[in-house]
Amino acid sequence: MRYLPLVLLAMFFTPPAARAEDVCDGINQWEMNMCAANKFEKADKAMNERYGKLMKRLDPEDQVKLRQAQRAWIAYRDKWCEFETNGLGSVRPMIFAGCLTGLTEDHSKNLDYQLTCEEGDLSCKGWVGHQN
């Protein structure tokens, strides 16, 4: 968790043209770290958009539950990636950002399921016809 702010801060000091790239063909470790951080930023933004859409479809009680689940999931994600990348050197920010990206993209699929499921699916709170 202590490196996440450094990764995010570094993203803001990267020129926009470099941040727009989707492929991490960096010449040096710093460029590869920045590219991986940019990929995480995009995945996180996409996840937050899905989360916001789902929140709008839920009643207040379910909004509370989703908010609690989301916060717990983010804490889990960050701690898991801390564990997975502990002890690495200069490559750590890249591996850490890659871990965050992968877990975030997987979680986005769960949110997508809630947004696209059909009426009658009892495991779904966000079916399309259920909008408030």
Q: What is the pTM of this model?
A: 0.77
Q: For the chain, give the mean pLDDT.
A: 83
Q: Per-residue pLDDT tens for 45-57? A: 999 999 999 999 9
Q: pLDDT at position 65, please?
A: 96
Q: pLDDT at position 12, please?
A: 43
For the ranges 8-12, 30-34, 75-79, 94-98, which has the lowest average pLDDT?
Answer: 8-12
* Radius of gyration of the chain measured on its C-alpha atoms: 17
For the ranges 54-58, 89-93, 128-132, which has the lowest average pLDDT?
Answer: 128-132
CA atoms within 13 A on the CB side of 85: 22
Sorted by where each begins, the domain ranges of the chain are: 4-110
- Which residue type does 128 have? V
Task: Compute CA distances 120 → 36, 61, 126, 127, 128, whole Å.
Answer: 40, 20, 11, 8, 11
Can you tell me the mean pLDDT for 12-35? 66
pLDDT of residue 8 exceeding 60, the answer is no
